[in-house]
Structure 1
Amino acid sequence: MTLFPLARGGGLAALLALAASLGAPNAGAQPAYPDKPLRIMVGASPGGGTDILARVLADKFSPELKQPVTVENRPGASNTIAGELTARAPADGATLLLATNTAQAVAPHILKLKYDPLKDLQPIGLVAVMPNVLVVSVNSPYKSVKDLVAAMAAKPGGFKYASSGIGSTQHVGGEAFNLATGMKSIHVPYKGSSQAHIDIISGEVEMMFDSTSSAMGQIRAGKFRALAVSAPQRSPELPDVPTLAEQGIKGADVSTWYGLYVTAGTPRPAVERLSAELTRTLNLTDVQSRIKALGGEPGTLTGEPFAAMNKQEFDHYGQLVRDARIKAE
C-alpha cells in the first residue's frame, strides 16, 4: 500500500504538487533577523562613556528590531575582555560590541590578545568621537596646565595620572603629555573611568586625561576642574577650556572614538540591518543632542569607510606606543 496512491490521469503531477505544497514553505527558509534577544558588550564599568552610549543604542534599537537589547559590562584588560567575548560569540548578529579605540587601536600594540580586533570583529559603524580632557580635582591647587607642569618640574616623578586601564586612550594621553612636556608622571590604571574618578576627586591621584563623555558629569557637578582639551579645537560644551596647543603643549592630542561591531562572519543581511539601524539612531535629534552634551560629535562612517578609519587609527597608535615606549605594566 502506497502512502500517496496515484490517481488515474495525471496522478504523478498531483503527487508532485502535493509534495511541493507540504515542503516548499520551509525549504531553505531563514528566520528574519533578529530572531532572538541582542546584547551589547561593553568593556568598561557602568557609568562611563562607553556604557552611556551603549544604553542609548539599546534603548533605540529595541523597539525597531522588535527584540530586547541589553547591555553587558565586562570591564578589564583595556576593554579587550568584551572584545574577545564578542569575537568568540556565534556569528548570528546577537552579540554586538560597543568598542573604543582603546581596544581597537591601542591595546593590540601593548597586550598579547587572544583575538585579532581587525579580523575577528565586523565593523558596523562609528558611533561618536569625543575629545579627551585633562582634569584635576576641583580642590586641586592647579588652575592651568602651566601651574601643573611647573609643579611636575619641581617634583620629578611625584605626580600620578589615572586611566581606565593599560592601553586606554587615557593612558596614551598621559604618556603623550609626558613626551610633549618632557615630564614624567606615573600611570595608575583602573578598570574603568568611574572608578578612577573616585581617586581624582579625593586627590589620591593628581590628574586624568579622560574622555569628555566620561568626565562631563563630574565637571558639571563641580567635582572636576578641566584644565585643557586634548583636541585641535575647543569643545562646544567647554568653550572656556583652552586646548593643550593653546597652552603651548603640541603633539599631545588624543581623542576617544566609539564604534559598533559584531562577530566576524555574521551574515550580510544582519550586518546591513544593524548598519541601517545605527544610521537611523544617530540621525535622531535627541540622540545627537545627547552625544553633543557629552562633548562629542555623532559618527557618520559605516561599513568599509569605518573599517578603513579603524585601520588608520591602529597604525597611528602603534607608532605612538612605540615612540612613548608604552608597555604592559
Structure 2
Amino acid sequence: MTFHFSTPLRRTLCAAALTLALPAAMAWTDKPIRMIVPAPAGGTMDVVARIVADQLSVETGQPVVVENRAGAGGAIAVQAMIAAPADGSTIMMTASNILTEIPHVMKTAFDPLKDVKPVTAIARASMVMIGAPNVPAKDVKGVVAWVKANPGKVNFASYSTGTSSHYAGMILNQKAGLDMQHVPFAGSPPALAQVMGSQIPLMFDGLATARNMITAGKVQAFGVASKKRSQHLPNVPTLAEQGYPELDFSNWVGIIVAAGVPTALVEKINTAVDKAAAAPKVRDRLLGAGFDLGGDETAEQMAKSLRADFERNAGIVKTFDIKINQ
C-alpha cells in the first residue's frame, strides 16, 4: 500500500527528521563524553564546565559527565586525560594558567606544548588592578605616587606564586620603579578578603571574582589588565591607557584534549563546543558570572596562542627569578 502525504505534512515530517538528526551530526563520538576538570566542585572552572556540559549534551545527543580531578597544579587531571583512549570521548575543561603558568614554578609530569592540544576558548577572564577602600588614589598614577611616598611599606597580594596575579605586580614594580612586596595566598578569595579588610592595600585579581566587590564599593578598581576595556567595567580604563601596556593578562577557560587525538576529531569537538557555548542561555550565564565570551579562534590559533603565552611567562619567571616559595 502506498501512502501519499500532502506537501505541508511532508515538509513537517522532513523538518522533524532533520531535527532528530542534528545531535548525531554534532556528535564526534558514539560514547558518553567525559569532561575532566582540574578543580574541585564549585570552583570557576567547574562552574563553566557544568554550564557548558548541559548544553553540549543537547547538541551531541550524548551524556556529558563532569569529573573533578583536583590537585598537583592540574597535573592529576591532565594525566587522567592523557591516559584515556585518544578517541575524543575524554576532554578537559581548564583555565589556561594550568598550562601556561603553573609548569614554570611547579614540577609537572606533562609538557603543555607536547602532551595536549587546545581545542577552543569558551570564556575569557581579564585581570583588574584593585585596591583597599583606604588607598588614597583613584588611578594607577595615583597608586604609583602613593607607593613611592611610602618606600618599603606597601604590599600586594596575589592568588598564588607564579600566577599572572603575581607577574603583574612584579612587572608594575619594574616599570614604575616601585618596591612593593609580594604576599601570596592560596587562591583569590582569601587574598581578596585581605584587600577588602585593608590589611593588604593592592592586588591584581581576576575580574570574575573581583567584579562584585568593585560594584559594591568594597574595593577600588584602578585599571584593567587587558588590551581593551571590559564590558563589565566600561568606565575603568585599561592599564595600557594609563601608560603600562606590558600589563596585559587574561586567562581563557576552555577545552583541551590529549595530543594523540586526531586533528579531524579536534576540529569536530571545536565546532560542537563552540555551538553549545553560543547558546543564549550559556552566553547569559557566562556573562553573568563576570566572564567575557570566547569561541572565536580555531584549534590551530589556540595552539599558537598557548605557545605564545607559555613562552612569555617563561621569560617573566626567568627575569624575576620567581620560585614557588616566594
Q: Superposed, which structure 2 residues align to 1:168-207 within 5 Å?
A: 168-207=163-202
Deviations 1:37-71 (A, max 9, x none): 523313477343x3432232223223334314325
> Counterpart of 2:29?
33
Change (3 A) 1:157 1:326: farther
> Counterpart of 1:28?
none
> Counterpart of 1:279?
274
Deviations 1:294-327 (A, max 9, x none): 2523231132221122112222222233233323
Amino acid at match of 1:326: I
Amino acid at match of 1:321: V
Contact 2:34–2:91 under 8 Å retained in 1: yes
1:221 aligns with 2:216: yes
Q: Identity of paired residues, percent?
A: 32
1:136 aligns with 2:135: no
- SS of alignment partner, residue 283 of structure 2: helix
Distance 1:34 1:222 in 2: 50
1:209 aligns with 2:204: yes
Which of 142, 148, 156 pairs up with 1:147? 142
- Matched positions, count: 297
- SS of alignment partner, residue 245 of structure 1: coil
Structure 1's unaligned 5+ residue stretches are: 1-31
Change (3 A) 1:283 1:177: same
Q: TM-score, normalised by structure 2?
A: 0.78
RMSD of aligned C-alpha atoms?
2.9
Distance 1:139 1:82 in 2: 41
- SS of alignment partner, residue 273 of structure 2: helix
- SS of alignment partner, residue 246 of structure 1: coil
Deviations 1:206-240 (A, max 9, x none): 22212222222322333332111112322222121
Amino acid at match of 2:118: P
Change (3 A) 1:58 1:198: farther
Post-superposition shift, 1:328?
A: 2.4
Distance 1:176 1:71 in 2: 36
Distance 1:224 1:81 in 2: 35
Bigger CA drift: 85-94 or 274-283?
A: 85-94
Distance 2:160 2:69 in 1: 15
Which of 204, 224, 230 pairs up with 1:235? 230
Q: Superposed, which structure 2 residues align to 1:84-163 within 5 Å?
A: 84-163=79-158
Deviations 1:149-168 (A, max 9, x none): 22322333433323232222
Amino acid at match of 1:175: M
Distance 1:112 1:228 in 2: 33
Structure 2's unaligned 5+ residue stretches are: 1-27
Post-superposition shift, 1:102?
A: 1.8
